[in-house]
């Protein structure tokens, strides 16, 4: 494996990590707000708070890791994406800032505020929408490069394209599905029957839209970028694995048994689809301007980054394990007894 | 649009706004875990629940500030690429490593902060809980370390070669451990600790001034002032080394800070004063030989003056005001904390007298101002370069036309965050005053 492929694989792995943990968080914010509006908040609020409170900061790090890592491994991405994404990037930052800080204000502050929880719920759906701009423009055709090298984003093209809207909707419904599946499992662990019933309903509600949008976006991409699409067709079996895992998730949620396995299958579903999407996008980071080979950092930096990465993992994996053992797999904590 | 379009100027203002706001929370974010760890340690060693409660209450307020530190830190991390794409393209090749490691340190801190906060009553052994705060301190300090090496690199770029505008033969460790790194890193870390000590000390002093006689606040004040005195002395020593670093490697920055025009030995240090368009200084206090001594231990040291440099490539002279503010406040903090420690140590002297307490209270906001002034001096003192001697700031900025609009949005965001932060913190501690919490936890509260 070349350093380029290793680098992008590591980064993709972190983006996948962010996709899962952030979706749980974003969806939880929305469900928490929605259930407040429908006067069902007493059912799931404590479940959500108990899971999110110790981990919200960690979620954010996955994202920081990705965008700092990509500048380290592929410095040219800073130039292309940085120049093009000033507005969507800034909007995402502002939403993340509002969300993160108002979560803390609401949770650790003096009192619960319905305005704070509205901010938390609304931003949870807007952030995935703004972040997906990056994936959309990576397909090509959304940015222009002037003769003097200035890069700019074609907003008209972005806002009128069916593909970009398809990706936005896919992101939002996936967030709700991922989150509901995980929280169903967590409620089950907490032996909270009422929360379990409500969250299970949410999970089943969002299952069909999420898989349907996945298929629609798949087709739209075929029109947008035929080269990428044929690459995806070569990896058809990964999408088949993804679909089978989806069926498994829905089955176990429906039957209300083996919910831990349902979560794992949901993660497999997104892992397979996300990696098949990413692998078939290679070698392009930004079609057709930038590949992983022309945008790669020098060799000594690559070695240093990989070394730092391994050392970092040796530190992080035991710490994350400790975090999960204390807050995710500790029956007493999950059930709210301490 | 709203502004005269100059993406370079607007990008500079927006970056300052984000960093200036982030610096407040980042500084206390690095400093407070250290103070929490000390309090927790004292509580354990002396078996004194007051110190443990101190750690708990500080930690509770700390989370609120951490949240803003995290989100503004994320903002600056992304803004670097959005506003300075050309710089990040060049910098990614050379300092990707420390930036990457900073996120590891942050990750490590984030994990353990979550654990620390939610396990106050969970373990039987106090030692176990104390051990959990250590990674938080290490993570916070390590992220300050790594990110400051990036800034040091911008002041003293090395560890690579520029061939026809392309970065080659990179040595990441040489880039990271450049001559600016030791003084910059140590100065940043120690002033974070100093600021945290004074911010927390100011809170305790405010309580005592408002008539609260609880031993809790007196212990808090005593502890913060002792640590503050230690950190203040260390700050002064490191500040002196920083002067020597500047003399050797960035003489134009030192000369601009000191309005030093002619290259000469036995150079005087200029305190305060105003400079006019003809570069004449008035109302200043001159200390003979001091600049030479600051630059190289002896009055014979020849200090390079601004006249030696291309006038288009020197920093603006107003950095002097910020340099002086930083130094004055540093001296002030050192004197106040040492005076407190001395008076408290003397029998029959009352360290808790009103004027001294008021001076401690002033030290809280002043220490934050000193941080801001120091950063403005350090950053503007490097202008017009973004990578000193290699890339000018004007070559690095985005070409986008929308920076002005983003500036307005972010200004609004930081205003809202700042105001809510203060409101929430005030409410939090007002509703749950320490007497109430001591009563609830069965901790004896007596007045002294």
Whether B420 and A89 lie within 8 Å, measured CB to CB: no
Mean pLDDT across the stretch A10-34? 85
Distance CA B3, CA A299 (A): 43
B273 to each of B264, B265, B318, how far by Cα in Å? 21, 22, 11
pLDDT of residue A54: 67
Given pLDDT bands bounded at 50, 70 and 90, which one contains residue B1? very low
Q: Taking Cα atoms as reference points, which of B308, B294, B300 lies closest to residue B263?
A: B308
Please determine, for residue A158, whether its predicted confidence score (pLDDT) is greater than 90: no
pLDDT of residue B28: 92
Residue burial B368-389, b: 16+ Cβ < 10 Å; e: rest: bebbbbbbbbbbbbbbebbbbe
Domain extent at residue B355: 7-263+304-441
pLDDT of residue B200: 93
A–B: how many Cβ contacts below 8 A?
227
Distance CA B377, CA A61 (A): 30
Whether A89 and B82 lie within 8 Å, measured CB to CB: yes
Name the residue in chain A with its Cα closest to that of B175: A301
Tens of pLDDT along B304-362? 888 888 888 888 888 888 988 998 999 899 889 988 888 888 888 887 888 888 888 99
pLDDT of residue B147: 92
Whether A79 and B173 lie within 8 Å, measured CB to CB: no
B63 touches chain A (CB under 8 A): yes
Least confident span in A107-121, B50-64, B88-102: A107-121
Picking from B64, B135, B430, the nearest residue to A108 by CB comes out as B64
Tens of pLDDT along B403-446? 888 888 999 999 999 998 898 888 888 887 788 888 887 777 77
pLDDT of residue A111: 65
Helix (H) or strand (E) holding A91: helix A86-108
ipTM surpasses cut 0.85: no
Picking from A71, A109, A316, the nearest residue to B96 by CB comes out as A71
Q: What is the dihedral of CA A277, A280, A282, A288, to 10 degrees?
A: -90
Is B2 or A154 the better-scoring residue by pLDDT?
Answer: A154
Please determine, for residue B89, whether its predicted confidence score (pLDDT) is greater than 60: yes
pLDDT of residue B144: 93
Whether B101 and A308 lie within 8 Å, measured CB to CB: yes
Mean per-residue pLDDT over chain B, rounded:
85
Whether B413 and A309 lie within 8 Å, measured CB to CB: no
Whether A300 and B172 lie within 8 Å, measured CB to CB: yes
B71 touches chain A (CB under 8 A): yes
Reduced to 3 states (helix: H, G, I; strand: E, B; else coil), residue A12 is: helix
Q: What are the extents of the domains in chain A?
A: 3-335
pLDDT of residue A123: 85
pLDDT of residue B194: 94
Q: What's the burial of B173, exposed, middle or buried (CB within 10 Å: 0-12/13-18/19+)? A: exposed
Q: How many domains is chain B built from?
A: 1
Mean pLDDT across the stretch B152-172? 81
Classify residue B296: in a domain, yes or no.
no
Given pLDDT bands bounded at 50, 70 and 90, which one contains residue B21? very high
pLDDT of residue A185: 86
For residues A196 and A189, is the Cβ–Cβ distance under 8 A? Answer: no
Exposure of B219 in the CB half-sphere (CA atoms within 13 A): 20
Tens of pLDDT along A65-77? 888 888 888 888 8
Distance CA A310, CA A140 (A): 33
Picking from A68, A76, A92, the nearest residue to B100 by CB comes out as A68
Tens of pLDDT along A195-222? 777 778 777 888 778 888 878 888 887 7
For residues B224 and B197, is the Cβ–Cβ distance under 8 A? Answer: yes
Given pLDDT bands bounded at 50, 70 and 90, which one contains residue A41? low
Global pTM?
Answer: 0.86
Please determine, for residue A96, whether its predicted confidence score (pLDDT) is greater than 80: yes
Picking from A65, A76, A89, the nearest residue to B103 by CB comes out as A65
Tens of pLDDT along B163-222? 776 777 788 888 889 888 999 999 999 999 999 999 999 999 998 888 877 888 888 999
Q: How far apart are the first and last CA of chain B?
A: 62
Please determine, for residue B281, whether its predicted confidence score (pLDDT) is greater than 90: no
pLDDT of residue A42: 64
Whether B118 and A103 lie within 8 Å, measured CB to CB: no
**Highest-confidence segment of A146-155, A237-246, B277-286, B396-405:** A237-246
Distance CA B262, CA B264 (A): 6
Residues comprising chain A, all counted: 338
Classify residue B119: in a domain, yes or no.
yes
Mean pLDDT across the stretch B89-112? 84
């Amino acid at each position: 494996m070349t350093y380029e492929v290793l680098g992008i694989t590591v980064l993709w792995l972190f983006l996948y990590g962010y996709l899962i943990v952030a979706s749980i968080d974003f969806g939880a914010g929305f469900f928490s707000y929605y259930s407040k509006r429908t006067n069902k908040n007493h059912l799931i609020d404590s479940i959500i708070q108990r899971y999110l409170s110790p981990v919200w900061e960690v979620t954010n790090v996955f994202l920081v890791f990705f965008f700092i890592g990509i500048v380290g491994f592929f410095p040219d991405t800073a130039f292309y994406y940085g120049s093009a994404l000033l507005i969507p990037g800034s909007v995402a930052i502002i939403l993340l800032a509002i969300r993160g800080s108002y979560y803390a204000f609401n949770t650790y502050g003096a009192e619960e505020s319905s305005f704070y929880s509205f901010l938390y719920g609304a931003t949870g759906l807007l952030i995935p929408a703004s972040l997906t701009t990056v994936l959309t423009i990576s397909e090509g055709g959304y940015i222009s490069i002037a003769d003097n090298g200035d890069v700019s984003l074609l907003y008209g093209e972005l806002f009128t394209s069916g593909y970009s809207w398809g990706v936005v909707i896919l992101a939002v419904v996936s967030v709700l599905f991922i989150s509901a599946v995980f929280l169903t499992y967590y409620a089950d662990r907490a032996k909270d029957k009422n929360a379990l019933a409500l969250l299970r309903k949410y999970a089943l509600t969002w299952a069909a839209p999420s898989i349907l949008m996945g298929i629609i976006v798949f087709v739209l991409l075929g029109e947008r970028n035929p080269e990428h699409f044929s690459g995806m067709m070569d990896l058809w079996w990964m999408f088949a694995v993804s679909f089978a895992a989806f069926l498994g998730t829905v089955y176990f949620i429906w039957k209300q048994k083996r919910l831990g396995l349902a979560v794992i299958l949901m993660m497999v579903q997104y892992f397979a689809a996300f990696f098949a999407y990413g692998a078939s996008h290679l070698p392009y980071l930004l079609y057709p301007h930038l590949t992983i080979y022309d945008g790669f950092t020098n060799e000594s930096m690559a070695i240093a980054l990989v070394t730092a990465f391994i050392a970092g993992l040796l530190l992080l994996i035991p710490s994350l394990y400790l975090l999960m053992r204390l807050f995710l797999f500790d029956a007493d904590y999950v059930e709210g007894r301490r | 649009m709203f502004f005269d379009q100059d993406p370079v100027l607007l990008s500079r203002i927006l970056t300052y706004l984000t960093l200036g706001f982030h610096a407040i929370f980042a500084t206390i974010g690095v400093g407070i875990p250290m103070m929490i760890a000390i309090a927790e340690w004292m509580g354990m060693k002396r078996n004194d629940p007051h110190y443990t409660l101190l750690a708990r209450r500080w930690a509770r307020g700390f989370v609120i500030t951490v949240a803003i530190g995290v989100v503004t830190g994320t903002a600056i991390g992304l803004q670097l690429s959005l506003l300075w794409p050309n710089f990040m393209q060049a910098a990614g090749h050379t300092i990707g490593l420390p930036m990457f490691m900073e996120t590891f340190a942050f990750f490590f801190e984030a994990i353990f902060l979550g654990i620390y906060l939610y396990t106050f009553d969970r373990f039987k052994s106090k030692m176990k809980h104390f051990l959990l705060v250590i990674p938080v301190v290490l993570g916070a300090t390590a992220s300050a370390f790594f990110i400051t090496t990036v800034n040091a690199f911008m002041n003293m770029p090395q560890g690579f070669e520029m061939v026809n505008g392309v970065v080659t033969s990179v040595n990441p460790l040489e880039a990271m451990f450049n001559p600016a790194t030791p003084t910059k890193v140590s100065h940043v870390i120690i002033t974070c600790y100093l600021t945290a000590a004074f911010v927390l000390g100011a809170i305790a002093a405010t309580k005592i001034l408002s008539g609260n006689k609880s031993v809790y606040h007196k212990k808090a004040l005593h502890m913060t002032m002792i640590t503050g005195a230690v950190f203040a002395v260390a700050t002064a020593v490191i500040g002196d080394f920083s002067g020597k670093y500047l003399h050797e490697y960035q003489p134009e920055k030192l000369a601009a800070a000191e309005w030093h025009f002619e290259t000469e030995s036995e150079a005087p240090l200029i305190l305060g004063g105003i400079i006019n368009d003809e570069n004449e200084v008035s109302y200043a206090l001159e200390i003979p030989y001091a600049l030479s001594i600051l630059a190289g231990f002896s009055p014979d040291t020849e200090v390079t003056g601004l006249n030696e440099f291309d006038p288009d490539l020197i920093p603006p002279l107003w950095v002097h005001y910020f340099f002086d503010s930083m130094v004055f406040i540093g001296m002030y903090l050192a004197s106040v904390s040492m005076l407190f420690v001395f008076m408290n140590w003397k029998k029959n002297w009352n360290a808790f007298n009103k004027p001294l307490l008021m001076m401690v209270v002033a030290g809280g906001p002043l220490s934050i101002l000193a941080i801001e002034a120091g950063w403005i001096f350090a950053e503007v003192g490097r202008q017009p370069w973004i990578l000193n001697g290699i890339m000018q700031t004007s070559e690095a900025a985005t070409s986008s036309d929308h920076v002005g609009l983003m500036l307005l949005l972010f200004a609004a965001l930081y205003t809202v965050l700042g105001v809510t932060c203060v409101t929430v913190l005030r409410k939090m501690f007002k509703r749950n005053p320490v007497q109430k919490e001591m009563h609830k936890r069965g901790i004896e509260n007596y007045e002294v």
